[in-house]
Amino acid sequence: MFSKFILNTILLFSVSTVFAQTDGGQKVNTKLIKVTNKVYMLQGKGGNIGLSFGKDGVFMIDDQYADGIEQIQNEIKKVSDQPVRFLVNTHFHGDHTGGNPAMAETGTVIFSQENVRNRLQDVIAKETKKIDEEALPIVTFAEDLTFYFNGEKIYVFHVHNAHTDGDSMVYFTGSNVLHTGDVFFNGKYPYIDTENGGSLKGYIAGLEKALLVINEDTKVIPGHGDMGSYKDLRDTIEMLSILYKRVYNLYLNKKTEEEIIKTTDLTKEYDDKGFGNGFIKTEAFLKMIYKEVAQEAGAGVEDREARNKEAMKKYKEIEKKLKEKEKN
């Protein structure tokens, strides 16, 4: 569905448009877009792919679904006949890692934050159909990683508990291009995988960290959607913060989840811009915020109760000592 996004013709140059046939017989519109002289974005069935071309070879970020990897490889060959030497998975979801086995077969070395490998191992263990262990990254890192490749420094850094618990962003420092993975859905409500370590507050913190790394001239490749900018990241932070505060205030005023979802003016200015027309609809997004608000508020009550119990315990101990002192 993300392949239908209209490209921003001011910033981008479409290099090629081809159609790949999936296992289900559906055509996938694949677009390879030149971002700078070295860096390209490839849009298709899954998350946006980042590509760096140069004398050292090809550096790749994410690889979409398994059934589209042959077409992706063909697209890469149209720009360079050099091998894909390194691949970074921004997180573990299948629309970003499905092509891993095929890429590994060609000799590509796969990197990720350590939680990505752990999550993929869990997926492999639970799947009824066999998933090749070559899907696993063979090099992992905890916080950050630096490549010196194709004439520039490529900085890969972990953002905590954002879209998942294993998200990474990749910054091409010389080209001034940032790939955010799914910690940025440009112009749409994001999917935050709370079942796998994601959180709204972590998502906002991840975007804020990105703004500290890049500058106002940086071109931003989102996990899904059209090419973005520094301003788009800042606007997304503002949108998420505003909606979180609105839901929090309604929660404090004893509004139920159902009542909050029916408050249509809550998200109106963003819905009017099409934020609810993506993979995550307005209702699903509000449910996610409500759940996080309820958990946080509940944790706050528990903390206060624990502090009160501790204070009462200390008070009784003091009172006991005073009584013993009076007896003596």
Q: What gap in Å lies between CA 180 and CA 221, rounded to an integer?
A: 6
28, 3 contact by CB (below 8 A): yes
Q: Tens digit of pLDDT per residue, the chain (328 long)?
A: 333 333 332 233 333 333 333 444 445 678 999 999 999 999 999 999 999 999 999 999 999 999 999 999 999 999 999 999 999 999 999 999 999 999 999 999 999 999 999 999 999 888 766 677 889 999 999 999 999 999 999 999 999 999 999 999 999 999 999 999 999 999 999 999 999 999 999 999 999 999 999 999 999 999 999 999 999 999 999 999 999 999 999 999 999 999 999 998 999 999 999 999 999 999 999 999 999 999 988 754 445 455 556 656 665 666 666 666 666 6
pTM: 0.83
CB 93 within 8 A of CB 122: no
83, 108 Cβ separation under 8 angstroms: yes
- The pLDDT value recorded for residue 2 is 32
Distances (CA, A) of 168 to 89, 114, 234, 283: 8, 10, 18, 28
Contact 73, 56 (CB under 8 A): no
Q: Quickly count helices (H) and strands (E) in the chain.
A: 9, 14
Q: How far apart are CA 162 and CA 196, in angstroms?
A: 10
User: Concatenated DSSP letters for 131-186?
Assistant: --GGGS-SEEESSEEEEEETTEEEEEEEETTSSSSSEEEEEETTTTEEE-GGG-BT
Strand partners, 57: 54
Rounded CA separation 218/172 (Å): 10
Domains and CATH numbers, the chain: 2-244 (3.60.15.10), 247-327 (no CATH)
Q: Which pLDDT value is given to residue 253?
A: 93
